[in-house]
């Protein structure tokens, strides 16, 4: 039974939810997947880091992180340096990389994951940046090292999108997809239909922890665009950056527009789409007015959905209701099990 040494780089909402879920699922991992695990490294930015090859107490790490106190007292060695230095020294078998996304170039997460693979670790992330900026190179490096680069949680949190495609739809060719992929804007539009102002809706999304203190990445459509780019890059095997997605956010939609649509029996949604056209892929994110006969009309609040159209199946829709850090954590845990099961050693 392998004892997997795990390291966490980025120990915020998602990292902490994942460690909590691993504790909860320890027995199932052992009994159903023959996986034992221990925590050998954990790092944030302001939290600093801890490494101990003999194992770090997970509850102690969670307690310090929740209290926003430094992790250093849990460390068996003095540590200095950035995330790359942490990965190089942590001695883990698996790195979970859950630092914030960079839309521009995916850094420093790309370097964290590359270093992990070069050191012989599986590299698992919920960070979309590395998928859109380095999918092919990280996947090739992983194959070369007999390890896996996995990222299920980057789109639709824990709902199986990439693994469904990989495991259950062999040889299928994705022609187009359409969906709602950004929870924050979908919640804002839902709340505006219920009579809240734009500002009140944004404040509510921040209060429940789904929108960041600077919510512009969601509102201007960047988060949706990076998810579209990730789906196109991986499922259509067509490298696309978020900058190449034709993008419009919901910043132009005021309370008046939302209420008028409602009176007309319609609803504004931030719709994501991509389609193969003339040997390329055309991708867009923009607000659309949808009627009740549209399958995305009923996707409300923080829920998300995507419909995949391939050359072999009719439209196949995945809907995820009420996601959160725990569902994201589940996607990462699923990746861990898949990586261990399928690694070439
Ligand atoms: N929240 C979700 O449900 C969700 C869903 C899908 C995907 N994701 C993705 O998952 C990732 C993590 O999200 P989150 O909600 O956990 O974010 P978060 O709560 O802001 O946590 C980010 C963590 O990364 C650390 N960090 C920031 N910059 C770093 C750096 N340069 N080097 C090392 N550590 C650094 C932060 O440390 P300090 O706090 O000490 O600064 C913190 O521990 C993001 O890429 C996000 O897009 C999140």
Distance 207 CA to ligand 1 centre (A): 17
Whose Cα sits closest to atom 23 in ligand 1?
10
Mean pLDDT for 49-74 is 97
Cβ–ligand 1 contact at 325 (below 6 Å): yes
Alpha helices in the chain (DSSP H): 13-24, 26-33, 58-66, 83-90, 109-118, 128-145, 162-168, 183-193, 198-207, 216-219, 222-235, 255-263, 325-342
Does the pTM surpass 0.85? The reply is yes
Which residues are within 8 A (CB) of 194 and not within 5 positions of it... i.e. 6 or more apart? none
Kindly give the distance from the C-alpha atom of residue 259 to the centroid of ligand 1, in angstroms, as a whole number: 35
> Rounded to the nearest whole angstrom, what is the distance from the C-alpha of residue 45 to the centroid of ligand 1?
10
State the burial class of residue 304 (Cβ atoms within 10 Å of its Cβ: 0-12, 13-18, 19+). buried
**Per-residue model confidence as pLDDT tens digits over 303-326:** 999 999 999 999 999 999 989 899
Q: Which of 7, 10, 153, 160 to mutate to test the pocket of ligand 1 (most atoms within 8 A of CB)?
A: 10
Q: Is the CB of 304 under 6 A from ligand 1?
A: no
Question: Quick one: which of 268, 284, 34, 306 has its CA closest to 154?
Answer: 306
**Whole-number pLDDT of residue 142:** 98
Summarize pLDDT for 62-91 with one digit per residue, the tens.
999 999 999 999 999 888 899 999 999 999
Q: What is the mean pLDDT of residues 81-105?
A: 95
Ligand 1 pocket, residue 11 CB under 6 Å = yes
Residue 328 in contact with ligand 1 by CB distance below 6 A:
yes
- Residue pLDDT, tens place only, 267-293: 999 999 999 999 999 999 999 999 999
Residue 344 confidence (pLDDT) above 60:
no
pLDDT averaged over the chain?
Answer: 95
The percentage of the chain sitting over the pLDDT mark of 90, rounded to a whole number, equals 92
Question: Quick one: which atom of ligand 1 is closest to the CA of 11?
Answer: 43
Q: Ligand 1 pocket check: which of 15, 16, 18, 45 to mutate, most ligand atoms within 8 Å of Cβ?
A: 45
81 touches ligand 1 (CB under 6 Å): no
Q: What is the pLDDT of residue 1?
A: 58
Please tell me which residue, 169 or 322, carries the higher pLDDT value. Answer: 169
pLDDT (tens digit, 9 = 90+) per residue, 203-230?
999 898 788 778 999 999 999 999 999 9
Backbone φ and ψ for 247, nearest 5 degrees, come out as -120, 130
Q: What is the mean pLDDT of residues 238-263?
A: 95
Cα 328 to chain centroid distance, Å, stands at 7
Average pLDDT over residues 36-62: 97
Is the pLDDT score of 342 beyond 80? no
Establish whether residue 131 lines the binding site of ligand 1, counting it when its CB lies within 6 angstroms of any ligand atom: no
Q: Is 47 in the pocket of ligand 1 (CB under 6 A)?
A: yes
46 lines ligand 1 (CB under 6 A): yes
Q: Is 345 a residue whose pLDDT tops 50?
A: no
């Amino acid at each position: 039974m392998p004892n997997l040494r795990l390291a966490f780089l980025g120990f915020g909402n998602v990292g902490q939810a994942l460690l909590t879920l691993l504790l909860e699922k320890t027995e199932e991992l052992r009994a159903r997947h023959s996986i034992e695990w221990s925590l050998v490294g954990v790092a944030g930015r302001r939290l600093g880091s801890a490494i101990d090859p003999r194992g770090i107490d997970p509850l102690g790490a969670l307690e310090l992180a929740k209290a926003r106190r430094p992790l250093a007292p849990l460390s068996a060695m003095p540590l200095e340096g950035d995330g790359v230095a942490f990965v190089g020294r942590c001695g883990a078998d698996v790195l979970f990389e859950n630092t914030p996304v960079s839309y521009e170039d995916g850094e420093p997460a790309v370097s964290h994951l590359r270093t992990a693979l070069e050191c012989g670790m599986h590299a698992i992330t919920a960070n979309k940046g590395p998928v859109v900026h380095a999918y092919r190179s990280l996947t090739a490096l992983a194959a070369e090292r007999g390890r896996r680069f996995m990222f299920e949680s980057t789109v639709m949190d824990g709902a199986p999108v990439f693994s469904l495609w990989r495991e259950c739809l062999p040889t299928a060719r994705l022609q187009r997809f359409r969906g709602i992929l950004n929870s924050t804007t979908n919640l804002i539009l839902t709340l505006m239909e219920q009579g809240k102002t734009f500002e009140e809706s944004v404040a509510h999304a921040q209060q429940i922890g789904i929108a960041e203190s600077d919510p512009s990445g969601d509102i201007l459509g960047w988060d949706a665009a990076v998810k579209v780019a990730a789906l196109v890059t991986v499922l259509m095997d067509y490298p696309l950056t978020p900058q190449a997605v034709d993008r419009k956010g919901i910043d132009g939609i005021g309370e008046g527009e939302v209420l008028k649509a409602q009176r007309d029996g319609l609803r504004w949604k931030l719709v994501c789409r991509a389609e193969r056209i003339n040997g390329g892929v055309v991708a867009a994110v923009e607000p659309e007015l949808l009627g009740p006969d549209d399958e995305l009309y009923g996707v409300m609040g923080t829920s998300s959905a995507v419909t995949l159209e391939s050359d072999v199946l009719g439209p196949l829709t995945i809907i995820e209701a009420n996601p959160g850090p725990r569902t994201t954590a589940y996607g990462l845990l699923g990746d861990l099990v898949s990586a261990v099961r399928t690694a070439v050693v």
